[in-house]
Structure 1
Amino acid sequence: MNFEYSDKVNDLLARVNGFLDQHLYPIEAQLLETIDTQPDRWAIPPEIEALKAKAKAAGLWNLFLPEFEDYGYGLTNLEYAPLAEVMGRTRFGSEVFNCSAPDTGNMEVLARYGNEEQKERWLKPLLNGEIRSAFAMTEPEVASCDATNIETRITRDGDEYVINGRKWYISGACDPRCKILIVMGKTDPDNANRYIQQSQILVPIDTDGVTIVRPMKVFGNDDAPEGHAEIRFDNVRVPASNILLGEGRGFEIAQGRLGPGRIHHCMRLIGAAQRALEMMCVRAENRIAFGRPLIKQGSVREDIANSVCEIEQARLLTLKAADMMDRQGNKAAREMIAMIKVVAPRMACQVIDRAMQLHGAAGLSQDFRLAELYMYARTVRLADGPDQVHMMQLGRDLARRWNGQ
């Protein structure tokens, strides 16, 4: 495996880093303060849209789409990994380059599985950064990490589908720019094959019967202005042409979507952990406690050393998984994706926690980004499937293989 970055990637890395240094980092604290204090928490600060326009004009746009040079740079997963890492250092990094979840996954779904009408109506404005989107899969009453448990119903009625169900923690659905939902539900719940019961369908968020019940909180934070919505679907009617790929293809689409989505989270978490490590080093050199800098304490040095080792291990595993996805496909790489989905969030939680501890009470405050980074890392331990589910499946598959099954 050769993980040396190409000239193209090194050029993009320099440009992305330069953009963040020049335009985003200097106003990062101001942006967060604006969101926390503005009268309407769900209003989009104009600075964000201004940054997006600058990034687009600079050609730093839609960097995430492999295999689709018509829509972006056509970078492979391995090429995108260091760019996503840099974006993960700050909350708004991915958004200003139009590389935010859940839009990235939804754009990949539309690019791979959408028909020309769906691409024209929804993919094009998403690629242009004119709208946002959400992926409605998780439900409060079932273990939604297994898509076969989904209870939302999608019922054919003539030239329409009727949708009934309840979803929650639907990231981005509270955003006033969110215009389209990709909804996962069952069109054939009694089919003996549990993996063809589900379908995915496009639902404009302003359709009659779609109700945003409330923003769900994470660690007491509503994560405005994007948010994570609880949504109710009451006899929601959409044209039959809104179905993606056809009835019974929902599980297949989900598997194609979640592989890249999972590894993108891991890429960004490497950046979050790296930033926490750098903050830890600055704090250790400059903070005086008990008459000397913290770096003089052996336990502090060990925390820094352990952190850099763990980050590098996770970074290499992320790159290996990305490389395997590129060479053998997402399905063949599913075990590697599962491994890094377990390793990266746990690593990030541990490294960020050490940094918080080293900062004392300040590490919990709004004056540093550590609490926000920790919240993100801890959330990703659940997002796109909890650790335990990935370990259960990985352990099962490995035991079967080595027993010749």
Structure 2
Amino acid sequence: MDFSYSAKVEGLRRELTAFFDEFIHPAEARHAAEAQAQRTAGNPWQASAVVEELKQKARERGWWNLFLPRSAHAPQGLSNLEYAPLCEIMGRVPWSAEVFNCSAPDTGNMEVLERYGTPAQQARWLAPLLAGEIRSAFLMTEPDVASSDATNIQCSIRRDGDSYVINGRKWFSSGAGDPRCAVYIVMGKTDVDAPAHRQQSMLLVPADTPGIHVRRPCSVFGYDDAPHGHMDIDLIDVRVPAENILLGEGRGFEIAQGRLGPGRIHHCMRSIGLAEAALELLCRRVSSRVAFGRPLAEYSIWHERIAEARCLIEQARLLTLKAADAMDKVGNKAARSEIAMIKVVAPNMAVQIIDWAIQAHGAAGVSADFPLAAAYAGARSLRLADGPDEVHRATIAKLELARYAARAAD
């Protein structure tokens, strides 16, 4: 296996790093001040002027829709292996992915529309998403069932003539708080009598459809992630045209599996960047802080933690590149073991390194004066998003046992 970066990727890494140095990093303080001003004024649920300004610069320079491989709709899209190191750079600043139109859940929703949408659906929703003109949300998780098992989902989708009528409740609907969110992809049950994995379907639901009631934003360790948001939503007699169904009745579980593979690895790529940023903050802190007459960096406990952090990051990066390479070569379904492994490894790695960085900062680490508390909230929640650790470990174990069973049968 050779995961060394090609000359093309090395050039892209240098150019993207230069873009960050020139535009993203200098804008971090402005972005934070803008968010605080909006919150103080009582309306944090509005698009960031800083991000919109940076989007123009990114698009002018061709840094746009890089996440979508092999698509005529986005010919600039890179392979998963090529995109991985660039996505890692984006992960160093959690809000920066949107600057490049590469942020969740839009990336996953665009992949769904690219793979499974009809030409009419693509014209109405994919084109403006790829242009960055609108945003979207994905409504799958429900509060009253264990949604890690998608067959549990209770949201009802009932055919009524030329329409579907939706009734149910969804929460942690990421992206639904954004005022630019124009469309939801909603997963629910169309046939409760079908086999377990053929009961679910997915519908495209315009966000302004009557019957949609946003209850509240769901907070994550106290963060509401405005203006993105993870919303708690009631769907009451929500009626949409029958042509809004994706791929057909009973195909929702299949679409979900196709959607979550790339999304999972994108999260893992960004987690590595986040961990690198946390390790950098840790090293700066222990090098500048004096306790009991010596810099913290002279104490062996910090040597041990820094060394372990570097090992964990390098291991996670190699496994991420292996998963990306497998996705490119054999497809997402055949690479499900690699995807499951990195989805377990990367968030746990990031959580541990951010935790050590918080410890190095003392009380400041859990304050809003540093980005570590928010980074921890994001990384820790990722151990639940797109499937909890336990589900991915079960997948890994089942595939491993099947492999040994096949050998034993030979």
User: Given the two structures, how large is their TM-score scaled by the length of structure 2?
Assistant: 0.96
Measured after TM superposition, the shift of residue 330 of structure 1 is: 0.5
Match of 1:346 in 2: 348
- Residue type of the alignment partner of 1:272: L
Q: % of aligned pairs identical?
A: 60
Contact 2:173 2:230 in 1 (8 A): yes
Letter in 2 for 1:320: K
Matched, 1:162 2:165: yes
Is 1:251–2:256 an aligned residue pair? no
- Asked if 1:315 is matched to 2:326, the reply is no
Correspondence for 1:89:
92
Match of 1:19 in 2: 19
The total of aligned residue pairs comes to: 404
**1:61 and 1:72 in contact (8 A); partners too:** no
| Unaligned ranges ≥5, structure 2 | none
> Secondary structure of the residue that 1:94 maps to in structure 2?
helix
Displacement of 1:374: 0.9
What letter is aligned with 1:25? Answer: H
**Which whole-Å deviations, capped at 9, do the CAs of 1:170-223 have from their partners, x for residues lacking one?**
0110110101000001111111x2111111100001000011111110001111
After superposition, what is the alpha-carbon deviation per residue over 1:303-342, rounded to whole angstroms, capped at 9, x for unaligned? 1000000000000000001111111110111011111111
Aligned to 1:36: 36
1:173 to 176, 184, 194: 176
Are the equivalent residues in 2 in contact too, given 1:20–1:93 (CA < 8 A)? Answer: no
Q: Deviations over 1:81-116 (max 9, x none)?
A: 001100000122101000000000000000111011
**2:110 paired with 1:107:** yes
For structure 1, the 5+ residue unaligned runs are none
Determine if contact 1:86/1:268 at 8 Å carries over to the other structure: yes
Q: In 2, are the aligned partners of 1:216 and 1:229 still within 8 Å (CA)?
A: yes
- 2:223 alignment partner, one of 209, 215, 221: 221
- Name the structure 2 match of 1:387: 389
Mapped pair 1:126 → 2:139:
no
Aligned residue in 2 for 1:139: 142
1:211-290 mapped onto 2 (5 Å cutoff): 211-290=213-292
- Aligned position for 1:357: 359
Secondary structure of 2:104's aligned partner: coil
Structure 1 residue 231: Cα displacement: 0.8
Q: Distance in 1 between matches of 2:90 and 2:75?
A: 17
The answer to whether residue 374 in structure 2 is matched with residue 372 in structure 1 is yes
Q: Which residue of 1 aligns with 2:7?
A: 7
1:156 aligned counterpart, secondary structure: strand
Q: Does residue 182 in structure 1 map to residue 185 in structure 2?
A: yes
* Secondary structure in 1 matching 2:286: helix
State the secondary structure of the residue aligned to 2:192.
coil
The whole-number CA distance in structure 2 between the counterparts of 1:401 and 1:18 is 45
Q: Deviations over 1:267-291 (max 9, x none)?
A: 0000000111111111121112222
Question: Which SS does the other structure have where 1:232 is aligned?
Answer: strand
Q: Give me the whole-angstrom Cα distance separating, in 2, the residues matched to 1:374 and 1:221.
A: 11
Q: Could you tell me how far 1:47 is from its partner in structure 2?
A: 1.2
Q: Secondary structure at the match of 2:18?
A: helix
User: What's 1:149 paired with?
Assistant: 152
- 1:375 CA drift (Å): 0.9
2: CA distance between counterparts of 1:69 and 1:233?
34
Deviation of 1:357 after TM superposition, in Å, equals 0.4
Distance 1:146 1:13 in 2: 38
The DSSP-based 3-state class of the residue aligned with 1:348 is helix
Residue 79, structure 1, aligned to residue 82, structure 2: yes
d(CA) in 2 for partners of 1:324, 1:45: 36
The structural deviation recorded for 1:45 is 2.3
